[in-house]
C-alpha cells in the first residue's frame, strides 16, 4: 500500500534520523495525503478549482479539523461516562436505602 503513496513510504522508512524528525515527516505526509483527498473531493464538485499549491495547506487544515472532531468525541464520551457513573451511584444508594428501610 505504501507503494501507492511514495511520500508516505519515504516518511515511513525514514533516513535514520531522530524520532522527532520522523514524526514531523509523518505528519507532513499525512497532511499531504489528506490534502490530496480533499482536493480530489473538491474537484468532483468544482472541476479544476483547486490549485496544487493549496494541497498541503488544505491537508493541514483537514488534519487539525480531524483532531478537533476527535477531541470533541472524547469530551462527549467523558460526559456520557460521568452521566452513567452518577446514575449508577444514585441507583446504588437507592437500593441500599430500600434494603435498609424495608427490612
Q: SS3 string of the chain?
A: CHHHCHHHHHHHHCCCCCHHHHHHHHHHHHHHHHHHHHHHHHHHHCCCCCCHHHHHHHHHHHHHHHHHHHHHHHHHHHHHHHHHHHHHHHHHHHHHHHHHHHC
Q: What are the pLDDT digits (tens) for 32-84?
A: 999 999 999 998 998 878 888 999 999 999 999 999 999 999 999 999 999 99
> Domain ranges in the chain?
2-102
* pTM for this predicted structure: 0.62
Residue 102 pLDDT grade (very low, low, confident, very high; cuts 50, 70, 90)? confident
The reported pLDDT for the residue numbered 26 is 95
Residue 30 pLDDT exceeds 60: yes
Amino acid at each position: 500500500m505504501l507503494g501507492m503513496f511514495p511520500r508516505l513510504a519515504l516518511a515511513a522508512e525514514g533516513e535514520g534520523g531522530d524520532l522527532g524528525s520522523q514524526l514531523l515527516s509523518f505528519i507532513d505526509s499525512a497532511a499531504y495525503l489528506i490534502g490530496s483527498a480533499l482536493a480530489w473531493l473538491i474537484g468532483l464538485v468544482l472541476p479544476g478549482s483547486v490549485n496544487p499549491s493549496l494541497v498541503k495547506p488544505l491537508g493541514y487544515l483537514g488534519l487539525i479539523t480531524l483532531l478537533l472532531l476527535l477531541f470533541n468525541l472524547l469530551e462527549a464520551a467523558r460526559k456520557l461516562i460521568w452521566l452513567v457513573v452518577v446514575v449508577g451511584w444514585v441507583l446504588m444508594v437507592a437500593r441500599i436505602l430500600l434494603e435498609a428501610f424495608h427490612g
